[in-house]
Amino acid sequence: MRPTQADGAAESYDAVSIAFHWITFLLVLAMFALALAPGVVKGSIELHKSLGFAVFALVVLRILWRALRGRAPDHGTAEPILLRLGAKAAHMALYALLLTAPVLGWLYLEAKAIDVHPFGISWIEMPSVIYYDRPLAMAIYGWKQVVVYALLALILLHAAAAIVYHSIIRKDAVLHSILPRRWRGGVAVLAALVVFAPGSGRAETSFDVNAFAAGLGASLAKSCPMADPGDIAAHDACRRGIGTGIEAGMRTDFILFGGQQSTKHWLKDKKTSVFRGDLFQDMYMSLYMYTGKVRVQQAPDGLTTVGVQAYFRNKLPAGRYPYPFWHAPAKWLAYEKANEIRFRMNNDGKVVFAYRADVGSDENRGPYEHVEHPYFLGEWMWRDNSGGAQPVVTLFSEMYSQDNPNLAALDDSYRKMAINFRDADCTVCHQPEGHRKMNKLTLLQTPYHAAAAIDAVLDEVRADKMPVDDYDDPKSIDTKLKAELLKNGEAFKQMLATADAWERSNNRPKARPASGH
């Protein structure tokens, strides 16, 4: 029998609190549905983000309403004190998790340098609190998974308590008090920002950016001095020497690299590609010649810019470039005109991103003339007249020592994985021309590019975040193909580790350090 109440209004939450409760429930339910079945609704990823902002805003408003104007029913003191305390703790945990999950989602996007516009409104932009950091992004993603599944478990426990314990066993009015009448019968955010904000918990460093800039300029000028822009021997010498001086510290970090940047402050707005530091130095920085001249400037986003005077080798054979830069005439011209490579660095001395620019001086360029390349035929890799793979600089024989005994097996493992990626449509968004919505492009089209991006790509496939369709929603991969792709991807990754270990054991000067070092 349903209990009677002397004052039904006194035994109910107020109408606003009830509305907050059920709207929040429906939004969270929709978010779980969109996350578990991405792509069913077109634009589901953007919709999921917008619902996250809505949930956060609703929970904040709900807490404020409860504190200032809300009315909670008095269910008496018949409940055992431990159950009452447990119920109170569960409610507080629900609020905390509902606030924490959207914050972690936002920070995950920040760490991946992805645009964050609340409710898809382009002129509303969230502040940038984290620079691009893929390992941090994956760590936050893991924490977000924990929070989200803890939230789901708590919601189920909350519902079971209301329906089974209160409504069926005790037959009291707790469930009815939160139902609409027609149906009847902040701290977590601050903690997350403090924990994840760049520089939190760090001691001040004594990094001397001016000394670093001078050392970088001298090291690059020694390894890659001025020469004829078509001198292959000079380019080879540069590729052998670069990364053995003060710049060696960049080789294990991931660096964003792109063209001359606008004055926008937020890194996520900048069009750049994601490169492992060794790939960036060997394949991109080596395409420039350096005079040793540098300049240090403060950037508007709080970073420090080190500009290194540099001039492009525009007369090399086509296979000496990582891919045909002339696929877009404006891009080739931008490479040719650049006279500075600019590095944005944080206070710890880490290069956050780099870009080529023409804001420096041409005083030391010397004779330099524009080169017209053949029409781009759409091939990022091709065969030369003798049947050799091109671009030659992207091959494992260029990445490792010529006598490394693992080269043949490494190439075989790469080809198996590449076939899987092609069949799964995973390379569509990872070519130099890029996906129309991608500000941060990870390249996979050559062996060296794939080797430097393998960890990130396998993480994305495991998390069902790639490939994507025209709406930027993940597309499902056949279960068998996905398993084979991950198997061959892991085999390729293991062969890379084996080849790296051989380089270390034979004391090769540019051997990659062991993982975790």
Torsion angle of C-alpha atoms 391, 395, 399, 403, degrees rounded to 10: -130
∠ CA 167-173-175, rounded to 5°: 55
Per-residue pLDDT at 172 exceeds 70: no
Determine the longest span between alpha carbons in the chain, in angstroms. 96
Which residue type does 249 have?
G
Asked if pLDDT for residue 189 goes beyond 60, the answer is no
3-state secondary structure at position 367: coil
DSSP per-residue codes, 383-401: E-TTS-EESGGGSHHHHS-
Residue 434 vs residue 101, higher pLDDT: 101
Q: What is the pLDDT of residues 294-306, one digit of tens each?
A: 999 988 777 899 9
Q: What is the pLDDT of residue 354?
A: 93
pLDDT given at position 192? 39
Q: What is the pLDDT of residues 234-291, one digit of tens each?
A: 999 999 999 999 999 999 888 999 988 776 666 767 778 889 999 999 999 999 999 9
pLDDT for 427 equals 67
* Span 499-505, average pLDDT: 96
Element (H, E) at 69: none
Using the predicted structure, report yes or no on whether residue 7 has a pLDDT greater than 80: no
Locate all alpha helices (DSSP H) within 9-80, ordered by sequence.
15-36, 44-68
User: How sure is the predictor about 473, in pLDDT bands with cuts at 50, 70 and 90?
Assistant: low
Query: How high is the pLDDT of residue 325?
Result: 94
pLDDT value of position 78: 60
User: Residue 266 has what pLDDT?
Assistant: 65
22-26, 60-64, 187-191, 497-501: least confident range: 187-191
What average pLDDT does range 3-29 have in this prediction? 69
- Confidence band for 190, pLDDT divided at 50, 70 and 90: very low
Residue 5 pLDDT > 60, yes or no? no
Percent of the chain residues past pLDDT 70, beyond the cut? 80
Burial of 438 (0-12, 13-18, 19+ CB in 10 A): middle
User: 81 vs 513, which has greater pLDDT?
Assistant: 513
Confidence of residue 368 (pLDDT cuts 50, 70, 90): confident
| CB count in 10 Å sphere of residue 11 | 19
**Residue 470 has what pLDDT?**
55
Q: List pLDDT tens digits, range 40-97.
A: 666 677 788 888 888 998 999 988 888 887 566 655 556 677 777 777 888 888 989 9
Question: Which range has the worst mean pLDDT, 74-88, 165-179, 273-287, 463-477?
Answer: 165-179
- For 283-303, b where at least 16 C-beta lie within 10 A, e where not — what string? bbbbbbbbbbbbeeeeeebeb
Q: List, for residues 303-353, the tens digit of each pLDDT value.
A: 899 999 999 999 999 999 999 999 989 999 999 999 999 999 988 899 988
- Residue 195 is predicted with a pLDDT of 39
The pLDDT mean for the chain works out to: 82
CA atoms within 13 A on the CB side of 108: 16
For residue 391, whether the previous peptide bond is cis, meaning omega lies within 30 degrees of 0, is yes
